[in-house]
């Protein structure tokens, strides 16, 4: 199986089949067991991984750098303003140069077309660490966490509140591929990206689940197995106060969480804003799975690296 992954970019889960996603999750579970037992797993000894982050990050940066160290490789972290990119060097030149030194590039940026351009000019794999469009590394950790808590993914119902942006989009892609029902609660006038919605519609039909957008928070939450919150104001948005107002009725608190199944888990990609998309009692409460979810970022990213790095 590794042969079918080696050298491949990881730009969006739309490029991966349900079977391939299963393989990544299996490798992640194995790496998690090895890590817990302190068993060495230096599958990438001597390799070098570049990391370019154009937006803030805590989880993605540290989980990748820790994971790369566990795998026996070295990471180099840079922000574009410290690179010649800031002085006008084109992406296509930057990409070809990094490709001569490093075995992969992990990149967090704005447009999906930016990661696609790096991928076009690099022979070695490019891994998307978040764009405006998608956050595929997050969705892998989400799937792993859901399976750990619920024993399965297919047939469950996930309710999502928050910005219809990268995290929402990757969850729509992942849910539609893995047969999980997803209800997205959004105020009138807000909707996910069209290309993602079309992908989700087509694949949910194929894989026997539904991806539903509703204004009705109760409809989204009723009988949900997983309640997922994300910020109302993703990185890059300037209209923060307007968004907080528009989304004000879409908070996960003790009352709204009680509309879901009694054994529902609460998830959040983090960073979270207490008093906005969720309350302190929910994120700190007994249904919260957020710290395991954050830990699983590292295991799933290690799996992607172990599979795709040549």
The residues binding ligand CP (CB under 6 A) are: 57-60, 130, 138, 269-271
Kindly determine how many residues on this chain lie close enough to bind ligand NVA according to the rule CB under 6 A. 9
3-state helix vs strand vs coil in the chain, percent to 5 = 45, 15, 40
Residue 309 touches which of ligand CP, ligand NVA, none (CB < 5 to 8 A by kind)? Answer: none
Element (H, E) at 23: helix 18-36
**Residue 63 binds ligand NVA, judged by CB under 6 A:** no
CA atoms within 13 A on the CB side of 219: 10
Which CB, 228 or 259, lies closer to ligand CP?
228
Q: Which stretch binds ligand NVA (CB under 6 A): 95-103, 143-151, 193-201, 228-236?
A: 228-236
Least spacing, CB of residue 254 vs ligand NVA, in Å: 24
DSSP 260: S
For the CA atoms of 236, 242, 247, 252, what is the dihedral angle to 10 degrees?
Answer: 70
**Residue 231 binds ligand NVA, judged by CB under 6 A:** yes
CA-to-CA distance for 59 and 295, rounded, in angstroms? Answer: 9
E strands, 135-255, where?
Answer: 157-161, 181-185, 211-214, 226-229
**Residue 165 binds ligand NVA, judged by CB under 6 A:** yes
CA–CA distances in Å: residue 168 to residues 50, 70, 173, 263: 27, 30, 9, 23
Binding mask 179-198 for ligand NVA (x = CB under 6 A): --------------------
Residue 94 touches which of ligand NVA, ligand CP, none (CB < 5 to 8 A by kind)? Answer: none
Q: Which of 99, 103, 163, 301 binds ligand NVA (CB under 6 A)?
A: 163
Residue ranges binding ligand NVA (CB under 6 A): 163, 165-167, 230-231, 234-235, 269
């Amino acid at each position: 199986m590794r042969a079918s992954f080696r050298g491949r970019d990881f730009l969006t889960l739309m490029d991966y089949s349900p079977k391939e996603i299963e393989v990544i999750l299996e490798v992640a579970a194995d790496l998690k067991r090895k890590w817990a037992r302190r068993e060495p797993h230096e599958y990438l000894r001597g390799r070098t991984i570049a990391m370019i982050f154009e937006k803030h990050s805590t989880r993605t940066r540290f989980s990748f750098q820790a994971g790369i160290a566990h795998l026996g490789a070295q990471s180099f972290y840079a922000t574009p303003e410290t690179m010649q990119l800031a002085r006008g060097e084109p992406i296509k030149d930057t990409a070809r140069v990094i490709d001569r030194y490093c075995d992969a590039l992990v990149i967090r940026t704005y447009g999906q077309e930016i990661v696609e351009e790096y991928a076009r000019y690099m022979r070695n794999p490019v891994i998307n660490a978040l764009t405006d469009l998608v956050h595929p590394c997050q969705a892998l950790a989400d799937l792993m966490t859901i399976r750990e808590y619920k024993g399965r993914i297919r047939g469950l119902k996930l309710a999502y509140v928050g910005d219809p942006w990268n995290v929402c989009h990757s969850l729509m892609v992942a849910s539609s591929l893995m047969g999980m029902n997803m209800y997205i609660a959004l105020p009138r006038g807000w909707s996910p990206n069209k290309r993602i919605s079309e992908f989700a519609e087509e694949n949910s039909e194929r894989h026997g689940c539904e991806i539903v957008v509703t204004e009705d928070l109760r409809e989204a939450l009723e009988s949900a197995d997983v309640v997922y919150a994300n910020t109302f104001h993703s990185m890059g948005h300037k209209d923060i106060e307007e968004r907080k107002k528009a989304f004000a009725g879409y908070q996960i608190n003790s009352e709204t969480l009680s509309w879901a199944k009694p054994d529902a888990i609460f998830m959040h990609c983090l960073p979270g804003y207490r008093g906005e998309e969720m309350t302190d009692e929910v994120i700190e409460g007994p249904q919260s799975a957020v710290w395991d979810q954050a830990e699983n970022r590292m295991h799933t990213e290690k799996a992607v690296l172990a599979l795709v790095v040549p």
